[in-house]
């Protein structure tokens, strides 16, 4: 089993410096060029670098030159197959030694995820001479086998499918609480932030928490790992009671392939389905999806998320209309709001990197690298000036001593 360390980066030097710290603990360094999330857009990395081929070439070339382990990449596709193929070939030529292709564009995410294009993945597989892994549309083991057969790839990755059923690649559909028990044992052995644990269990228990809403609320509020173990125990008891009372011939509800207490895929609804879910029936029951609909951006309180509704209660005059938001000038480097008085027209983070690299000042951000450097030089010169009179007096004394010794020697002769 290969252990890869994934990185997000947009600076060749910084990327390689970080990778050098990790290379002794992994088999390969992976450059993630597939993240489509807003945080990647703000930070200028992931799938938002897919048009910057020159930068990507420099990052991969430098990594190949400096690292002792292979460099791999994960990408998303362009709508155009030919451009996707050229993109993959460019990465291969730069030195990428394994390529994972997610068959969705960077715009395909959340309710707009849709179906991944195996046709794009197949075209890349045929066009390059390095191993290619596929990603997208993998919900069960039969999907893995079909993907390999249709695309010819060397391997398959799964994200959401594996989160909802961690036994996906074993071809099993275990009970949700059994998978949770196994996972929580690992967490107890290798502790991590509780938010990570909670996020995993929301995925693993997705279908069951639609039935037991109270347990969903308890999982959201619990503050300790022991509390999460208790929630899992309660979930197990309720499911076992439901199984005991199950009628013969009863079938799963909500169109699920298995009963909710069995690990299984979650098919993300498209925008139309979400509108139906959050329409009349959803309003009557007070049920809403995790993400808000596009229409809520107009500031209509009936369509606002719970978080925005709370803000509205605190401040009734608050508006969520995007057209009323203040417009900020963007950082030349990453797209975050720039400092109004920044001499480089950058946000503070980017400004700090550049000012440090160039030993420059930016009074707008309170960064004084040049000034402090000059002060340190001045201090060093002053220290030398203080030491020099002492050194000269010591030198004169040593010369005088040598003259006396020479005169004494001459008289002795």
Whether 10 and 154 share a structural domain: yes
How high is the pLDDT of residue 407? 44
Q: Report yes or no on 366 lying in a domain.
A: yes
Confidence of residue 217 (pLDDT cuts 50, 70, 90): very high
Q: What does the block give as tokens for 296? A: 């809520």
Phi-psi region of 152 (alpha: psi -120 to 50; beta: other; left: phi over 0): left
Q: Are residues 38 and 135 in the same domain?
A: yes
In terms of average pLDDT, the best of 50-54, 315-319, 345-349, 370-374 is 50-54
153 & 180 share domain = no
Confidence of residue 303 (pLDDT cuts 50, 70, 90): low
DSSP assignments along 108-150, one per residue: --GGG-----HHHHHHHHHH-SS-EEEESS--SHHHHHHHHHH
pLDDT band, residue 1 (cuts 50/70/90): low
C-alpha–C-alpha distance, residues 111 and 269, integer Å: 6
- 140 with 13, same domain: the answer is yes
The residue among 217, 245, 273 that closes a domain is 245
> Which positions ≥6 away from 307 have C-beta within 8 Å?
none
Residue 347: inside a domain: yes
47 burial type by CB count under 10 A (0-12 exposed, 13-18 middle, 19+ buried): buried
Co-location of 213 and 241 in the same domain: yes
DSSP conformational letter for 291: S
Read off the pLDDT band of 319 (50, 70, 90). confident
Cα-based distances in Å from 281 to 267, 274, 277, 284, 374: 20, 11, 7, 5, 69
The whole-number average pLDDT for the span 53-60 is 97
CB 88 within 8 A of CB 54: no
In a shared domain, residues 119 and 37: yes
The domain that holds 86 is classified in CATH as 3.20.20.70
Q: How many domains are contained in the chain?
A: 3
Let me know if 350 is a catalytic residue: no
**Domain check: are 152 and 79 in the same one?**
yes
Residue bearing the bigger pLDDT, 319 or 148 = 148
> Which of these is catalytic: 8, 35, 239, 331?
35
Asked whether residue 412 is assigned to any structural domain, the reply reads: no
Within a domain: residue 273?
A: no
Residue span of the structural domain in which 134 resides: 4-158
Asked if residue 208 lies in contact with residue 260, where contact means CB atoms within 8 angstroms, the answer is yes
- Tell me, yes or no, whether 261 lies in a domain: no
User: Do 204 and 114 belong together in one domain?
Assistant: no
Domain endpoint, select from 245, 279, 302: 245
**Same domain, yes or no, for 21 and 80?**
yes
Q: What angle do helix axes 194-204 and 225-244 make, rounded to 10 degrees?
A: 10
Domain identity same for 194 and 231: yes
Q: Is residue 361 part of a domain?
A: yes
- 286 falls within a domain: no
Same domain, 129 and 203: no
Q: What letters, b where the CB count within 10 A reaches 16 and e where it falls short, cover 315-353?
A: eeeeebeeeeeeeeeebebbebebbeebbbbbbbebbbe
pTM (two decimals): 0.67
Pair 82, 125 in one domain = yes
Does residue 403 form part of some domain? no
Task: Decide if pLDDT at 184 tops 80.
Answer: yes
């Amino acid at each position: 089993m290969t252990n890869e360390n994934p990185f997000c980066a947009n600076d060749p030097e910084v990327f390689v410096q970080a990778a050098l710290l990790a290379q002794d603990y992994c088999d390969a360094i992976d450059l993630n060029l597939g993240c489509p999330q807003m945080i990647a857009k703000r930070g200028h990395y992931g799938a938002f670098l897919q048009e910057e081929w020159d930068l990507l070439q420099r990052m991969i070339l430098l990594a190949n030159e400096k690292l002792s382990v292979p460099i791999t990449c994960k990408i998303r596709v362009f709508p155009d197959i030919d451009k996707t193929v050229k993109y993959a070939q460019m990465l291969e030529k730069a030195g990428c030694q394994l390529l994972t292709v997610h068959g969705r564009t960077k715009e395909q995410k959340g309710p707009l995820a849709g179906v991944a294009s195996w046709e794009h993945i197949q075209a890349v597989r045929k066009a390059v001479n390095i191993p290619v892994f596929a990603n997208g549309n993998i919900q069960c083991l039969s999907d893995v086998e079909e993907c390999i057969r249709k695309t010819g790839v060397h391997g398959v990755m799964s994200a959401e499918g594996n989160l909802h059923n961690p036994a996906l690649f074993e071809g099993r559909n275990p009970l949700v609480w059994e998978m949770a028990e196994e996972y929580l044992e690992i967490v107890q052995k290798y502790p991590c932030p509780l938010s990570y644990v909670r996020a995993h269990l929301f995925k693993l228990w997705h279908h069951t928490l639609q039935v037991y809403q109270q347990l969903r609320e308890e999982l959201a509020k619990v503050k300790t790992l022991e509390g999460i173990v208790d929630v899992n125990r309660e979930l197990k008891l309720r499911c076992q009671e439901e199984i005991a009372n199950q009628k013969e011939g009863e079938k799963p509800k909500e169109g699920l392939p298995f009963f909710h207490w069995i690990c299984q895929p979650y098919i993300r609804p498209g925008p139309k389905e979400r509108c139906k879910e959050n329409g009349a029936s959803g309003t009557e029951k007070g049920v809403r999806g995790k993400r808000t609909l596009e229409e809520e951006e107009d500031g209509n309180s009936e369509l606002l998320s719970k978080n925005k509704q709370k803000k509205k209660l605190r401040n009734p005059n608050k508006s969520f209309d995007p057209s009323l938001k203040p417009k900020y000038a963007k950082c030349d480097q990453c797209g975050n709001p720039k400092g109004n008085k920044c001499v480089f027209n950058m946000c503070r983070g980017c400004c700090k990197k550049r000012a440090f690299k160039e030993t420059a000042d930016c009074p707008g951000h309170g960064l004084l690298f040049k000034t402090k450097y000059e002060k340190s030089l001045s201090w060093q010169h002053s220290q030398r000036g203080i030491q020099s009179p002492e050194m000269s007096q010591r030198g004169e004394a040593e010369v005088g001593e040598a003259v006396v010794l020479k005169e004494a020697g001459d008289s002795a002769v």
